[in-house]
Structure 1
Amino acid sequence: MIEVYTDATPNGLKVSIALEELGLLYKVRRVFLGGEQMTPEFTALNPNQKIPVLVDDDVVVTESGAILFYLAEKTGKLLPKNPKARIKAIEMLFNQMSSLGPMIGQLVVFRGPWQNKAPEVTNRYFKEVSRIYGVLNKRLEGQPYFAGDEFSIADIAFLPWIRFAANVPFTADLPLAENPNLKAWLERVLARPAVQKGVAIPEPFPPEKQFEGFIKATVGVGDLHK
């Protein structure tokens, strides 16, 4: 059976959403990011000491984007068969990994743990995420999903991050409503039954513990990377 080492973070939720969409059996091993990722056992699975990690018999896959691609290749699902749509899904998967995720992550760190002590830096990340929202809105013009007519791993990659940004006070002022195609896409994908189940797996730790793990694991803020 597939095992997933994960937490209720945007990158972790990508994997549970994909597994629910695919209907695969899997076991969740929730990792407290306040230190459990530093253990020798976890480090043997991922020397980068990050979640998620997927173990499928003798195959170990790290990096959320690689896990999504692995699952799509394994099942022949969540990637369009049409070559043009397929490469568009892969392109947008890479786009999320290199742009939106890191930029929202930095915006939350500078506004949250660092309490906006460097407002010019915070503003740089806010402007960049706002710009990316506009690009994504344009990508969705005339089509329901990022690769065209089919829901794919590209949509799964973006979903938890945009959902997270819409629900966290530090990023509530991002221009989601000003980008109607993106807002409609978010509502559309969140209505999927498998998505609704996947975004609740794993159950998050109590808020104070979840935040403690976030702080401890944040390089330059927490005490895990001295």
Structure 2
Amino acid sequence: MTIELHTWDTPNGRKISVALEEMGLPYKVTPIDISNNGQFDPAFLKISPNNRIPAIVDPDGPEGKPVSVFESGAILIYLGEKTGTFLEKTGAARIAALEWLMFQMGGFGPMPGQVHHFLGLENEADRRYGLERYSKETVRLYGVMDRRLGVVPYFAGADVSIADFAVLGWAWRHERHKVDLADFPNVKRWYEAMMARPGVQRGFAVSLKG
């Protein structure tokens, strides 16, 4: 059965299109135009109570019943467990995948997102303050990732996991973060390896705007 992906062309949206392509799951995109307040549509609120993209509806959920899932991290865990791919059932690799998924959700997402916001401000004083505060933290997070990727090829260890899909959605915007990946060679190596994967390429190529 075909999963409904309710989303827009954002880092969080790309996490899920990449995961769906990598996992080989059939899906269709329902664009939620957040530039036109589409996230506040009552129909979308029913599946995403926080009015945030992405969200999915899986007609073949647990016990064969339809289920909706919101929050990109929860969606990645759900899809990983549904398919039995990119998320180990037990062991150290599962723990690491969940750790780095939470790292992305709690830090490497909110902080670069603030950089995006302040770059768009016209008030120079506000812009300068925000960029000084959040750019510094964003660069620090790139350093954390670089150290991790200096000892393992992927965030959970030897193999690609949902954590890589989560981080990739935001690393994709590194130029908007004003970050040169040459300053973080391990992140650069990982990023190039991820972007060379056919499933990842399909996940970034699919239109999320209808």
TM-score (norm 1): 0.84
- Aligned-partner Cα distance in 1 for 2:189–2:207: 26
Are 2:179 and 1:151 equivalent residues in the alignment?
Answer: no
- Structure 1 residue aligned with 2:32: 31
Residue of structure 2 aligned with 1:163, choices 158, 172, 191: 172
**What secondary structure, in the 3-state scheme, does the structure 1 residue paired with 2:174 have?**
helix
Q: Secondary structure at the match of 1:60?
A: strand
Q: Is the 8 A contact 2:5 2:56 kept in 1?
A: yes
Distance in 1, matches of 2:68 and 2:114, equals 28
Distance between the aligned counterparts of 1:193 and 1:115, measured in 2? Answer: 42
State the shift of 1:72 in Å.
Answer: 0.3
* Stretches of 4+ aligned residues off by more than 3 angstroms: 113-117
Matched, 1:200 2:205: yes
Residue 89 (structure 1) aligned with residue 128 (structure 2): no
- For structure 2, the residue ranges without an aligned partner over 5 or more in a row are 60-65
Equivalent position SS for 1:137? helix
Give the deviation of 1:103 after TM superposition: 0.2
| 1:80 and 1:150 in contact (8 A); partners too | no
Describe the shift of the 1:45–1:81 C-alpha distance in structure 2 as closer, same or farther (beyond 3 A): closer
Deviation digits for residues 91-121 of structure 1 (CA, Å, limit 9, x no counterpart): 0000000001000000110111455532123
Letter in 2 for 1:184: R
Q: Does 1:55 align with 2:57?
A: yes
The match for 1:98 is 106
The answer as to 2:129 corresponding to 1:120 is yes
Aligned residues: 201
Equivalent-residue separation in structure 1 for 2:149 and 2:73 (angstroms): 20
Identity in percent? 47
Deviation, 1:47, is: 2.0
* Cα separation, 2, equivalents of 1:100 and 1:182: 13
3-state SS of paired residue (1:45): coil
Distance verdict in 2 for CA 1:39–1:127, change over 3 Å: same
Return closer, same or farther for 1:81/1:196 CA change in 2, 3 Å cut-off.
same
1:66 aligned to which of 60, 69, 74: 74
Whether 2:145 is the aligned partner of 1:139: answer: no
How far residue 35 of structure 1 moved from its aligned partner, in angstroms, is: 1.6
Shift of 1:82: 5.7
Return the alpha-carbon distance in structure 1 between the equivalents of residues 31 and 115 of structure 2. Answer: 25
Alpha-carbon distance between aligned partners in 2 of 1:114 and 1:13, rounded to the nearest angstrom: 28
Conserved in 1, the CA contact under 8 Å of 2:143 and 2:184?
A: yes
RMSD: 1.5
